[in-house]
């Protein structure tokens, strides 16, 4: 598997010159390491996704905790180069809070917008005092809006409004 994952990482980071990739943890830590070796690139590990089927696997018990928390711990251990983050969906703010208690890694938070995620709940659950610790994603609701620039600005204003209630 390491040869395959190494080829995927090279394709994304060298051939396509991507800055970051989202990877699945279900092939194990060695597959994640092939991506994290590219120290100047970001690697977001799917921890607790935003789709309705997330609970099918990600909430199963793994040694006394849900798999998504086990994934968070694994990602922490593998973060030797400081370039790993976690994908945690805005559709489950309680899971975001659980992962934030377990991890200091940056979060990529999809599910705002078209998926109906809880923007305020997600920001509050992910907040650790560092604005750079979470990146919220609202792809479809911005891309398919009649005025994408306005939609993005509105979302930014909403996010900053929530953050302003959390900062002194």
Which residue ranges form the domains of the chain, and what is each CATH number?
2-166 (3.20.20.70)
Cα separation, 18 vs 91, whole angstroms: 27
Its pTM stands at 0.92
Cα separation, 128 vs 118, whole angstroms: 18
Walk along the chain (168 residues) and give the pLDDT tens digit of each residue. 678 999 999 999 999 999 999 999 999 999 999 999 999 999 999 999 999 999 999 999 999 999 999 999 999 999 999 999 999 999 999 999 999 999 999 999 999 988 889 999 999 999 998 988 999 999 999 999 999 999 999 999 999 999 999 987
Q: At what angle do helices 2-10 and 29-36 cross, to 10 degrees?
A: 30
Is 149 strand, coil or helix? helix
């Amino acid at each position: 598997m390491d040869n395959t994952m190494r080829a995927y990482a090279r394709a994304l980071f060298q051939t396509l010159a991507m800055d970051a990739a989202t990877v699945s943890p279900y092939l194990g830590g060695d597959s994640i390491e092939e991506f994290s070796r590219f120290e100047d690139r970001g690697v977001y590990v799917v921890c607790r996704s935003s789709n309705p089927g997330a609970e099918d696997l990600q909430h199963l018990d793994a040694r006394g905790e849900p798999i998504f928390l086990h994934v968070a711990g694994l990602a922490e251990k593998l973060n030797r180069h400081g370039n790993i983050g976690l994908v945690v969906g805005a559709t489950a703010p309680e899971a975001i809070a659980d992962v934030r208690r377990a991890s200091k890694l940056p979060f990529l938070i999809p599910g705002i917008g078209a998926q109906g995620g809880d923007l305020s709940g997600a920001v509050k659950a992910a907040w650790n005092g560092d604005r750079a610790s979470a990146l919220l994603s609202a792809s479809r609701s911005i891309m398919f809006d009649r005025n994408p620039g306005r939609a993005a600005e509105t979302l930014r204003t909403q996010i900053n409004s929530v953050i302003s209630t959390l900062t002194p």
